[in-house]
Amino acid sequence: SQITEDFRALRKVAEDMNLFKSNHLFFLVLLAHIIVMESIAWFILFYFGNGWIPTIITAFVLATSQAQAGWLQHDYGHLSVYKKSTWNHFVHKFIIGHLKGASANWWNHRHFQHHAKPNIFHKDPDVNMLHVFVLGESQPIEYGKKKLKYLPYNHQHEYFFLIGPPLLIPVYFQYQIMMTMIVRHDWVDLAWALSYYARFFITYIPFYGILGTVLFLNFIRFLESHWFVWVTQMNHIVMEIDHEPYRDWFSNQLAATCNVEQSFFNDWFSGHLNFQIEHHLFPTMPRHNFHKVAPLVKSLCAKHGIKYQEKPLLRALQDIIRSLKKSGELWLDAYLH
């Protein structure tokens, strides 16, 4: 109860400091640099032709713009830009639909479950790995004792490179998004998504033809998927993953999230998700203010003896593999003994 009371006081301080007020120019510049990258990608092919080198460079430019659009839609999806929800919802549909070919409603339904119960089995869809991976410390032992072996989990830190980053967006997400919109009759989101595909194919069919454009699109998503998986997993998969414990909300968020050190590159590369702790505690706070509230959060953690984890980017990425390896070893030990 004391932690909860102190956190409410902290939030009031953040409100008094105007940390929930967004800088519209900041988000406009982010949108502009995405559109600039889209334009540069077309110009490269227009000027240099569709050879292998211009194609690969263009694919990397478009993958970068797609990743950055992914971080930007996240801001609008959390209603952290405009005061009026309707404005956030409209721009969210434009960015995730027209700029990325995905569904705002699908994202909201999935992502808000994650925020409510991060790293909780059967409640957080981001740790529902469909028996492909065992995560945390309790699930591997539970699977091992029950002699469950859908895959050789002791090698999951190796096959992660084959079926994790390469396939999540171009295969799993792409199929799930389309099926969700059709099954739920979400025609508005489908129209936004189709506008993206129409624009993409009209732009690149003159360079590659229909089949070539399909392959080009999936290569871009293959590249983006690596970026997305490494960034999103470095904050959560390395933390506590278990069935829901009985404790306060603040402590739950700190147990399930960690930060990556701040730098201009880290902020841009991760869309400020390197401040994952602050984002989970204040999901409607504009991301450019996370660094201002972080010292207050650290003080509250220190007061109550709650661990506030922050690490360098490279170590955070390496910890993903370490955690998968550790979970796989726990599974094998329980399975054999």
- pLDDT of 135 > 80? The answer is yes
pLDDT in tens, 206-255: 999 999 999 999 999 999 999 999 999 999 999 999 988 888 899 999 99
Q: Where are the beta strands (DSSP E) in 175-332?
A: 259-260, 310-311
Q: How many structural domains comprise the chain?
A: 1
State residue 259's pLDDT score: 97
What residue numbers bound the domain in which 117 lies? Answer: 2-336
DSSP string covering 3-16 = HHHHHHHHHHHHHH
State residue 247's pLDDT score: 85
Of 202, 1, 177, 219, give the one whose Cα is nearest residue 73.
177
State residue 127's pLDDT score: 87
State residue 173's pLDDT score: 94
State residue 128's pLDDT score: 83
pLDDT in tens, 171-206: 999 999 999 999 999 999 999 999 999 999 999 999
Give one word for 193, left, alpha or beta, with left for phi > 0 and alpha for psi -120 to 50. Answer: alpha
- pLDDT of 130 > 80? The answer is no
State residue 131's pLDDT score: 82
| Distance (Å, whole) CA 85 – CA 96 | 16
pLDDT in tens, 31-81: 999 999 999 999 999 999 999 999 999 999 999 999 999 999 999 999 999
Share of residues in the chain with pLDDT > 70 (%): 100
CB atoms within 10 A of CB 108: 15
Tokens of 299: 């003080």
State residue 296's pLDDT score: 96
pLDDT in tens, 249-294: 999 999 999 999 999 999 999 999 999 999 999 999 999 999 999 9
Largest CA distance in the chain: 64
State residue 246's pLDDT score: 84
Query: Average pLDDT in the 72-92 region?
Result: 96
For residue 34, the cross-strand partners are none
Q: Where are the beta strands (DSSP E) in the chain?
A: 259-260, 310-311
Is 316 within 8 Å of 238 (Cβ atoms)?
Answer: yes
Q: Which residues of 290-323 are buried (b: 16+ CB within 10 A; e: fewer)?
A: beebbebbbebbeeeebebbbbebeebbebbbeb
Is 4 within 8 Å of 290 (Cβ atoms)?
Answer: no
State residue 245's pLDDT score: 84
Q: pLDDT-derived band of residue 303, with 50, 70 and 90 as boundaries?
A: very high
